[in-house]
Amino acid sequence: MNMKKKTTENSISRRDFIKATSTASLAAMISGTGILFAGGSDKIRVGLIGCGGRGTGAAIDCVNSSPNVVITAMGDLFIDHLENSLKNLTEKLKKENLSVSRDTCFSGFDAFKKVLACDVDLVILAAPPHFRPEHLKAAVEAGKHIFMEKPVAVDPLGVHSIIDSSKLAEQKGLAIVAGTQRRHQDHYLEIMKRVRNNDIGEIVSGQCYWNMGALWVERARQNWIDRKTKGWSDMEWHIRNWLFLTWLSGDHIVEQHMHNLDVINWAIGSHPVKCSGMGGRQVRTAPEYGNIFDHFAIEYEYPNGARVMSMCRQTEGCSNNVSERVIGTKGLAYTDGANGYIHGAKAYKYEGQSPNPYVQEHADLIASIREGKPLNEGIRIAESTLTAIMGRMSAYTGRALKWDWV
């Protein structure tokens, strides 16, 4: 039976959409790798759950971060994502780093369970954020070490699930590292060390920004067309267009801007206790862009009374700014993707070259596993995710909120 015809146009029946499938094309791709499972006591066998662009990139970064790391299982809701990811991995990885078979590649809503049932040591969780709490819970229960992309939830209930799973991982000696790469970037680490050393005094205020142009413009338009021409259900369109649906992404303040909010929480050493904000959908209003806002502005208050202004925007033709700044009684600290400096009595500027942070976060994770000292960033990333969710809730409702309410 030729199953390729079912998936060539990415149009799948309701039954195929829900259950895992395998295709002749996938089998051909796998057989072409000519790879067998290899032995080795320090081998890290990795399962990839979520085979879109970020998941595929994370798999490549993971392999490149450390020796003797092998991708051995893959799963995604959509068969075309799985096929495209396998093709990219085959092209970009050495043969010894990719060891999958037809029996270890899965599609469907239950693909994550089948990857976890494989003989893997570590899983990469990179499906849309809505699914992260369920996937993390299952991974911890299965006894796997975890790399999970941010954000880790889209609502408070999901955050509390992440916290519970992270506590269980701690008890079981499992590592959890999140995709907040700034936490593994040299100039951020150096600046934060000095902030912790009181070089800028007590933090009294701050600002953080992720103001940029639009994302997925052509992809959103094509998905809107494919929704009709390929007969997608509303559910399939939502999940393929997940960035623009709050229930799947959390909105861009959660999906993206939480990077900057995480840095602020890191600098202050706490999550906020209150927030008040606004936002809207002023430019990105067409139906293909789902229901998310295109701008937010939130003021956060921290336990010591410090106020932090947070701003994020995804609109073309405007000035861009992705950075963080905290102001203390003795100076200020500034960070962005490439720079870090302190102004004040203990002035400092980072002059070194940072390794690729997207690779370094995996190197730190794998080193912690091999050394028997597993990192666990679960609760920290849960708090940063909830910081962003609280800001979104305030903007959506027009109400000031307290941390304890969410």
pLDDT band of residue 338 (cuts 50, 70, 90) is: very high
Residue range 183-352+377-405, CATH number: 3.30.360.10
d(C-alpha 384, C-alpha 389), whole Å = 9
Question: What's the helix, strand, coil split of the chain in %, to 5?
Answer: 45, 20, 35
Instruction: State residue 150 phi and psi, 5-degree precision.
Output: -90, 160
Over 70: is that where the pLDDT of 219 sits? yes
The pLDDT score that the predictor gives to residue 36 is 32
| pLDDT for residue 143 is more than 70 | yes
Q: pLDDT over 70 for what percent of the chain?
A: 90
* pLDDT, mean over the chain: 92
Is the predicted pLDDT of residue 26 greater than 90, yes or no? no
Given a cut of 60, whether residue 94 has pLDDT beyond it is yes
Three-state SS string over 43-103 comes to CEEEEEECCCHHHHHHHHHHHHHCCCEEEEEEEECCHHHHHHHHHHHHHHCCHHHECCCHH
d(CA 39, CA 92): 22
The pLDDT of residue 354 is 84
Q: Which CATH number fits domain 4-181: 3.40.50.720, 3.40.30.10, 3.40.50.450, 3.40.190.10?
A: 3.40.50.720
Mean pLDDT to the nearest integer, 103-109: 98
Q: What is the pLDDT of residues 274-326, one digit of tens each?
A: 999 999 999 999 999 999 999 999 999 999 999 999 999 999 999 999 999 99
pLDDT at residue 41, as a whole number: 55
Which one is predicted more confidently, 38 or 260?
Answer: 260
Q: What is the layout of strands, in order, in the sheet containing 274-280?
A: 348-349, 340-344, 331-336, 321-328, 203-212, 307-314, 295-301, 274-280, 401-402
Tens digit of pLDDT for each residue in 340-391? 999 999 999 999 988 999 999 999 999 999 999 999 999 999 999 999 999 9
| Nearest partner of 82 among 65, 97, 104, 60, judged by Cα | 104
- Supply the pLDDT for residue 31: 44
Asked if pLDDT for residue 35 goes beyond 60, the answer is: no
Query: Domain locations in the chain?
Result: 4-181, 183-352+377-405
Q: What is the pLDDT of residue 74?
A: 99
What is the band of 336 on the pLDDT scale with cuts at 50, 70, 90? very high
- Pick from 268, 334, 262, 260: which is nearest to 304 by CA? 268
